[in-house]
A and B are shown apart, each in its own frame.
Chain A
C-alpha cells in the first residue's frame, strides 16, 4: 500500500515535469514561428521556359530513338553545366531540327502514323517556339520525307530562312520546298540521281549525286525552281566516296571520304568550285590503318580554323564505326595539331562555334554526352541518361 502511494506521488511529479517541458517547448516554438516564417505554400502548375537568348555552349541533341523509331526526340543541353533545359517530340525516324539564324522559331520535318506503327501517314514541317518548346504551327508536305539513318544534310534553309528544303526518297529522290513565312508547301523539285539538300547561300541549295557530281538548284522569290546546274564529278563514288555529313567552313562545305581525304565544295557562286582535296592521314597513319569514321564524323570551329575528325583503325567497310580518338587539324596549314583520346568511343562529334569552344561527343553504346575543352582536349563533364539513342548534334544560333 505504501509502495503504491509512493508510486502515485512519483507519477504525479513525472507528469508535472512532462507538462512543464511540453509547454516550454510550445512557447519557444511560437517564438520561433514569429522570428522565422514557415515555408511558403507552393504555387501550383508552374511550367518552366528556356531563356530567350541561347549561350554559345548550348546544344540540341537529336535523338532518333532506334529502339522505337516512332518516338524521336530532341534534347536541349547547356554544355557549360550539363543542365537539361527540355525536349521536343519529333516523330518517326527523326533526323535533326532546323535552326534559323533569327531563332524565333524551330523547324522540324516530321512523319507520323495515325495508329502509331500503321494507319495513315502524315508528313509535315512542324514549327516550335524555342522558349516554351511548344508547337506553334504545322505545314503539311507530301508523304515522301526520306526515312534513313539520319544525316545532318537531310533538311536545309535558304539564307533568309524563308524557305525550307526537305529531302525526299521513295526511292525516287526530290525535295519538298516549304514557305515558312506563308506557312505553305510550295512544290517539289526532282533530283534525278542526286540526294540530300545543303544550303549554298542566298536562295541556293545543292545535292550530291550518284556519279560523284553535285547538283545546284536555285529558288525564285516564290520558292519555285528557277534554275538547276549539274557539275562534273568531283570524287569517285566507286573508289573513294565522300560521306554525307558535311560541315560548313565559310563558303566551303567540307566532306570527309572513306579513304581519309577531305573534299571541299566552294558554294560562293551557282557554279560550284572544287578546291583540291587533301589527306587527313599521312603515310604512317595509313600504314597503321587509321580512317575517318562514325556518323557525324567531322566538326569545324571557325574562329580558330580547326577541323575535328573521329578516327579509328579498320578497313573501308568500317567507315561507320565509332573511334577512340578525335584528331584536330589546322585548316589554314592543313596539318594535324592534336590527337584527343576520348573517354568513350566517339560515334558523333560537334564543336561549339565560339572562340572558347567545347567539343561534344556521343558514344555508340550508351545515351551519354561527353564534353571536352575543344582547344586542349581536357574532359570537362558528361551528361548521362540523355534520351534513348542520341545521334546528331547542332548549336542554336546565339548572337
Chain B
C-alpha cells in the first residue's frame, strides 16, 4: 500500500502542478470514481512534507488577505465551516478531530501575484458540525456526478468515520496552464 500511496502522491502532485483545472476535468473526470482502490484523483496528501512556497499574504489589502475571512483568496471554492473558528486554523484541524486524506481540489487566484494555485479543501472529521463561520463560495465547484470537483460531498473518507466537523484550506502548488 505504501508503494501505491507514494505513486498516487507523486502522480497527483505532478498533475496538480502541470495541469489546468479544465483539462484536468476533461482528461481525468471519468477516471475519478469507480475504482476499487483509493481513487486516482483527487488525492491531496495533506501529510506530505514538501510544500511549495507562496507569496506573503500580508501584502494583500482587505478581507482577501485575511485567512479568517470567507473572502480570503484561498477560500474561492470553499463550502463548509472554517476550521480557524473551530479550534484549528486555515491549515490545521481542531483538537481531537481527524484529518481526512482524501478531498476535492479547487483552483484559486492569488491577488498578490495574480497566479492560480491548486487548493486542497480537506475536511476535519469525527466530531459533529462545528457550525461556526460557514463559507460557501463554489468557484469552479461542479455537481456530485463529478466528485473530484464537488464540495457538496462530505469528504471524511479514509478516516475512522465520516462525521463532518470543519474544513481546512491547503495550497498544493501552482496551477500551470
Q: Could you give, for residues 168-198 of chain A, a 1 whenever the CB lies within 8 Å of some chain B CB and a 0 otherwise?
A: 0111110000000000000000111111100
Interface centre among A93, A170, A243, A319 (most CB of B within 10 A): A170
**Does B152 lie within 8 Å of A149, measured CB to CB?**
yes
The stretch that binds A, out of B87-95, B113-121, B129-137, is B129-137
A179 CA / B107 CA spacing, docked (Å)? 43
Considering the complex, give the chain A residue whose CB is closest to the CB of B136: A320
Any A CB within 8 A of the CB of B83: no
Interface centre among A68, A92, A172 (most CB of B within 10 A): A172
**Does A194 lie within 8 Å of B152, measured CB to CB?**
no
Cross-interface CB contact of B157 among A92, A171, A192, A193, cutoff 8 Å: A171
**CB within 8 Å of B: which A49-79 residues:** 66-70
**Does A69 lie within 8 Å of B164, measured CB to CB?**
yes
Residues of B within 8 A of A242 (CB): 143
Residues of B within 8 A of A318 (CB): 138
Any A CB within 8 A of the CB of B84: no
Cross-interface CB contact of A67 among B129, B146, B152, cutoff 8 Å: B129
**Does A241 lie within 8 Å of B147, measured CB to CB?**
no
Give the number of chain A interface residues (Cβ < 8 Å).
45
Q: Could you give, for residues 135-163 of chain A, a 1 whenever the CB lies within 8 Å of some chain B CB and a 0 otherwise?
A: 00000000000111101000000000000
A318 CA / B137 CA spacing, docked (Å)? 7
Query: Given contacts A192-B33, A244-B144, is CB(A70)–CB(B162) below 8 Å?
Result: no
Query: Given contacts A67-B131, A117-B161, A244-B144, is CB(A148)–CB(B153) below 8 Å?
Result: yes
Residues of B within 8 A of A171 (CB): 32-33, 39, 102, 147, 153, 157
The total of interchain contacts (Cβ-Cβ below 8 angstroms) comes to: 126
Give the number of chain B interface residues (Cβ < 8 Å).
42
Cross-interface CB contact of B144 among A68, A121, A148, cutoff 8 Å: A148
**Does A193 lie within 8 Å of B126, measured CB to CB?**
no
Considering the complex, give the chain B residue whose CB is closest to the CB of A67: B131
Considering the complex, give the chain B residue whose CB is closest to the CB of A319: B138
Residues of B within 8 A of A378 (CB): none
Residues of B within 8 A of A6 (CB): none
Considering the complex, give the chain B residue whose CB is closest to the CB of A148: B153
* Smallest CB separation, A176 vs chain B (Å): 16
A320 CA / B143 CA spacing, docked (Å)? 10
**Does A70 lie within 8 Å of B137, measured CB to CB?**
no
The stretch that binds A, out of B8-16, B21-29, B169-177, is B21-29
**Does B39 lie within 8 Å of A196, measured CB to CB?**
no
**Does A173 lie within 8 Å of B154, measured CB to CB?**
no
Residues of A within 8 A of B129 (CB): 66-69
Any A CB within 8 A of the CB of B128: yes
25 contacts between A and B (CB under 8 A): A66-B131, A69-B164, A92-B163, A116-B128, A146-B144, A147-B153, A147-B154, A169-B144, A171-B32, A171-B33, A171-B39, A172-B36, A193-B29, A194-B145, A208-B145, A209-B30, A210-B147, A211-B29, A237-B29, A237-B142, A237-B145, A241-B142, A317-B139, A318-B138, A319-B138
